[in-house]
Amino acid sequence: MAEHLLVVDDEQSMREFLEIMLTQEGYRVRTAATGEEGVKLYRQEEPDLILTDVKMPGMSGLDLIREVHTVNPHVPIIAITAYASADDAVRAVREGAYDYLSKPFQVEDLRIIIRNALETRRLREENLVLRRSIEDRYCFRNIIGKSAQMIDIFNLITRIAPSKASVLIMGESGTGKELVAKAIHFESPRNDRPFVTINCSAIPENLLESEMFGHVKGSFTGAIANNPGLVEVAHTGTLFLDEVGEIPLSIQAKLLRFLQEREVRRVGGTDGKKIDVRIIAATNKKLEVEMEQGRFREDLYYRLNVIRVRLPALREREEDIPLLIDYFLKKFCAEQGKQIGRVSSLTTQVLSNYNYPGNVRELENIIERCVTLEQSDQLTAENLPPKLLESCGSPGGVRETEIPADGIDLNRTLDDIERKLVNRALEMTGGNRSRAARLLGISFRSLRYRLLKLGMDSEESAE
């Protein structure tokens, strides 16, 4: 379909000329005699490009640019003035005009500017679509990843979500088991029903049965009223049993009975109530080992393990680390109102090489710490936890060196060591000399002296 252009000019002859010329060029053209009418037409039809005179009675072209850009800051607007005024042109561009023309203008100049403006608009829209498709592909309900393992998990969630089958999610602590459980729920037909979590490791054994299945008044000391359990609360929705491997054997038997009968009986009660829930369980334990050692019932395991989802540790999907860094950086910058647009190369290197025993949750905590402490516009290694720098080889100490039989040049060796330490400090602070000096335990003046001595002085380093 032809691009839609809007011409706004108080001179009828100019409106008619532009309408005829642009229609012959293959564009769909609407015209307006005032700025107010132009804004109204834009709101109604959202044309692809606007040509507007700057000097008009009532609403000027500058006012029109401001008003239209409150609706859509990306629509290209070409300003036209009869006075060849540099001030008008500068003001128009400052207000957001794509370009300007002075009357009288060459028709070919107008053609070129319009083509370029529409091409810029098209490229911006294509980039936006591409960015959204990448975000959609690599972010599935707040689960971030582009590795083959994560794409497989996204596909698996989509396939299993519509069913009622029980799901067992296995993975180390911090891998995102609850996120996957929620994704399954919200992709399912039950997405408008309750999603209820029971943290099986956080509730004391003597309270767990009551929390799960409820109790009747007077069934034990402190039971002053009838109380539904979390299983009842989840009726028609999804029940998420987090860290199911921590459930005591006595409660496992009662959970198995519920799964077999789909009927809940409150503690101290005699009446049963039919419950419709989908069960999703998660554990960081190897339940097969727990069964062998008699700590987990085999029959319960098979009831829960209808569909298994195994989440990889972060160290098994290193290619996702930069994506996660970027995601958490944007998240915490937004939360803290900071403008940190970059991550230093050393920071990325250290974060990518770390083993992450705490997995994604640990990386999230590290980025939150760095954003909180960072004072520049880039994330520097200076604010990383010390254990990360130690794991990658800290520059803080010099290892003992054997002296070869033919000896060494001590001054040159010391200069080499000093150069490496200064370079590392500058890398860690993103080139900030004052902070690098503090890291090295020397004054700023002393650092300047060393940079000159070592031939490393550069005006590019920030002070």
The model's pLDDT over 378-392, given as tens digits with 9 standing for 90+, comes to 898 888 998 887 665
What is the reported pLDDT for 52? 95
Read off the pLDDT of residues 213-267 as tens digits, 9 standing for 90 and up. 988 887 777 777 888 889 999 999 999 999 999 999 999 999 999 999 999 988 8
Phi, psi angles (nearest 5°) of residue 31: -125, 155
Q: Which of 20-29, 35-44, 199-208 has the weakest average pLDDT?
A: 199-208
pLDDT higher than threshold 80 for residue 199: yes
d(CA 433, CA 455): 15
Contact 306, 263 (CB under 8 A): no
What is the reported pLDDT for 139? 64
Neighbours of 383 (CB within 10 A): 18
What is the pTM for the complete model shown?
A: 0.60
What is the reported pLDDT for 382? 84
CA distances to 165, 241, 279, 286 from 185, in Å: 12, 13, 10, 24
H helix or E strand, kind and range, residue 30: strand 28-32
What is the reported pLDDT for 436? 83
pLDDT higher than threshold 60 for residue 346: yes
Q: Find the mean pLDDT for residues 365-394.
A: 84
What is the reported pLDDT for 463? 46
Confidence grade of residue 455 (pLDDT, cut at 50, 70, 90) = confident
pLDDT higher than threshold 60 for residue 58: yes
Read off the pLDDT of residues 127-137 as tens digits, 9 standing for 90 and up. 666 555 544 55
Considering only the C-alpha atoms of the chain, give the largest distance between any 2 of them, rounded to a whole number of Å: 95
CA distances to 39, 125, 365 from 316, in Å: 55, 36, 19
The mean pLDDT value of the chain amounts to 87
- Omega before 104 within 30 of 0, i.e. cis: yes
Q: Which of 98-112, 260-274, 301-315, 399-413 has the weakest average pLDDT?
A: 399-413
Domains identified in the chain and CATH numbers: 4-131 (3.40.50.2300), 143-219+228-312 (3.40.50.300), 316-391 (1.10.8.60), 410-453 (1.10.10)
- Percentage of the chain exceeding pLDDT 90: 55
